[in-house]
Structure 1
Amino acid sequence: MAEESTQSIVVDAPPERIMAVIADLEAYPEWAKAVQQTEILETGDDGKPQQVRFTLDAGPVKDVYTLSYDWACDGLSVSWQLVKGQMQRSQNGQYVLRPLGGGERTEVTYTLSVELMLPMIGLLRRKAEKMIMDTALKELKRRVEGER
């Protein structure tokens, strides 16, 4: 079983604006550099994506994979898990949003666990996860704060 890595960032926006950007999976190729394409395969009764296929090109790591999403009713978290992947054996992730102060700032915590088909030394895997999460959080912050 893969270990989890966690990182947080503070975004100058209320949680609902951040979650709207997270939930707009079709727009990820516009702002998430490694995501080349997304395809919504299934939506829930609430209209939110339930299964999404991603085409990823992060330099040496290229993959096509499908994730299944679980959106919290309170709008403050979303989790996902791998359904199918070419390079990944498993992926579990989660965004948790925590309003700060008057609600115009939000702490976004990203947790990720990835296990690849090919074995990878733990130190290298953790470094790759840290880079993925750091980039994802910074790109999310830039996207949300740029949409004012």
Structure 2
Amino acid sequence: MADRTSSSINVKAAKAEIMAVIADLGSYPRWASGIREFTVQETGGDGRAERARLTFDGGPFSDTVGLAYTWAGDDRVTWDLVEKGNVVTGLHGSYTLTEAGGGTEVTYELAVDVRVPMLGMVKRKGEKRIIDSALKGLKRHVES
């Protein structure tokens, strides 16, 4: 899973406000297209998810997977696949937040492996579509 895809967007809000939205996994179906359900299974001492189950509808694929989260305050969150789905066999992602000119630059990085053989170019294009959709949805949700 060495190949990763990333993209960034500027959001007119403080890091803490944006990370609060990112940490509210249960609300993702309202603003992140393709997410059908997000259920937190375990939380840490800070109240943020440590493990969760994600059900998504990603165009040609639908699946449910288990994810483990690592939080670095309001600066960064990473997640890794801990329960494979029927289609997804590997997944690593992160949001990194950096203060930038009165707002925050949000960078989303994603690497996904699937059971179905797929050309690297096609896989990266799919990851890019997921990332761009998520960043635009996050920006709309936070700035509204």
Q: TM-score, normalised by structure 1?
A: 0.93
**Does residue 124 of structure 1 match 2:122?**
yes
Deviation by residue 1:47-72 (Cα, 9 ceiling, x = unmatched): 11011101101221101011100000
Structure 1 consecutive aligned stretches of length 4 or more whose deviation exceeds 2 Å: none
User: In structure 1, what residue type is equivalent to 2:61?
Assistant: V
The 8 Å contact of residues 2 and 114 in structure 1, kept in 2 or not, is answered as no
**Paired-residue identity, %:** 45
Map of 1:134-145 to 2, 5 A cutoff?
Answer: 134-145=132-143
RMSD after superposition: 1.0
**Does residue 76 of structure 1 match 2:75?**
yes
The 8 Å contact of residues 2 and 115 in structure 1, kept in 2 or not, is answered as no
* In structure 2, distance between residues paired with 1:84 and 1:119: 20
* In structure 2, distance between residues paired with 1:28 and 1:88: 19
**Does residue 113 of structure 1 match 2:111?**
yes
Length, aligned pairs only:
143
Which residue of structure 1 aligns with residue 91 of structure 2? 91
Q: TM-score, normalised by structure 2?
A: 0.95
Residue 38 of structure 1: how far off its partner (Å)? 1.1
